[in-house]
Structure 1
């Protein structure tokens, strides 16, 4: 019981810190491109590429599961799920991300976070 409480407190605290940071680090033109942009690690050796992809996907799945839990527990559930989706690889991922970001409540929440950090708002192509 005590262990699960400690884990919940840690996850909640990390979500309050990391999720806004991830939303701030998204380039403002990320969703204006018709196709997915190239990955930064494509110039790395293949073994390192695979390591980055595996770690990135594991982090994404962890964020998605945590975000789903936060829909019922205290925390930023929807933003955590969005951050998790940005990390995992799956077919049509970019289209799903664009669809979620185009939802007015999500778009305004992310841009409010970006505005408080002094970043330019996200741009979306409709």
Structure 2
């Protein structure tokens, strides 16, 4: 048990400033980006029972794969940053939601709806939308 505390202590001695700077940077970025992202969610995004595939693009398949990988990496970064922001300053739950919305994985839509049904999340999202001059999201069905 003592070795675990030693490891944690050494980690924060070596990386403490980087963690603090990263936390502050994520806080500032999330404050700036979240309202912009929230305003672009379609009003009926959470009321569909199924998701529609985007039409096939005329881009080269390698380029499409690269965009897919980059999108999933961005989603993973937002997800991890959101988890960190649960314990540090920042909009952790919203960052987690947006990270999950960006990534591709099985059961994505059910998880998004479960998260957005939380009253605190739903009211926060609609408050941001109102400040951006957008109509509120339609409430997802139970």
Which residue number corresponds to residue 9 of structure 1? 24
- Inter-partner Cα distance in structure 2 for 1:86 and 1:46: 23
- Inter-partner Cα distance in structure 2 for 1:84 and 1:108: 19
More deviation, 15-24/81-90: 15-24
RMSD over aligned CA atoms reads: 1.5
Indicate the SS of the match to 1:66.
helix
1:79 aligns to 2:98 (yes or no)? no
- Using the TM superposition, give the Cα deviation of residue 48 of structure 1 relative to its aligned residue in structure 2, in angstroms: 1.7
Which residue number corresponds to residue 67 of structure 1? 82
User: What's the CA shift string for 1:7-26, capped at 9, x where partnerless?
Assistant: 32222111111122111111
- Inter-partner Cα distance in structure 2 for 1:15 and 1:29: 24
Which residue number corresponds to residue 35 of structure 1? 50
| Number of residue-to-residue matches in the alignment | 125
- Inter-partner Cα distance in structure 1 for 2:22 and 2:61: 35
- Using the TM superposition, give the Cα deviation of residue 38 of structure 1 relative to its aligned residue in structure 2, in angstroms: 2.6
- Inter-partner Cα distance in structure 2 for 1:5 and 1:114: 30
- Inter-partner Cα distance in structure 2 for 1:4 and 1:51: 29
More deviation, 2-11/64-73: 2-11
Pick aligned residue for 2:35 from 17, 20, 25: 20
- Inter-partner Cα distance in structure 2 for 1:4 and 1:78: 19
Which residue number corresponds to residue 122 of structure 2? 107
Please say which structure displays the higher CA radius of gyration: 2
- Using the TM superposition, give the Cα deviation of residue 123 of structure 1 relative to its aligned residue in structure 2, in angstroms: 1.0
> TM-score, normalised to structure 2's length?
0.81
Indicate the SS of the match to 2:23.
helix
Structure 2 runs not aligned, ≥5 long: 1-15
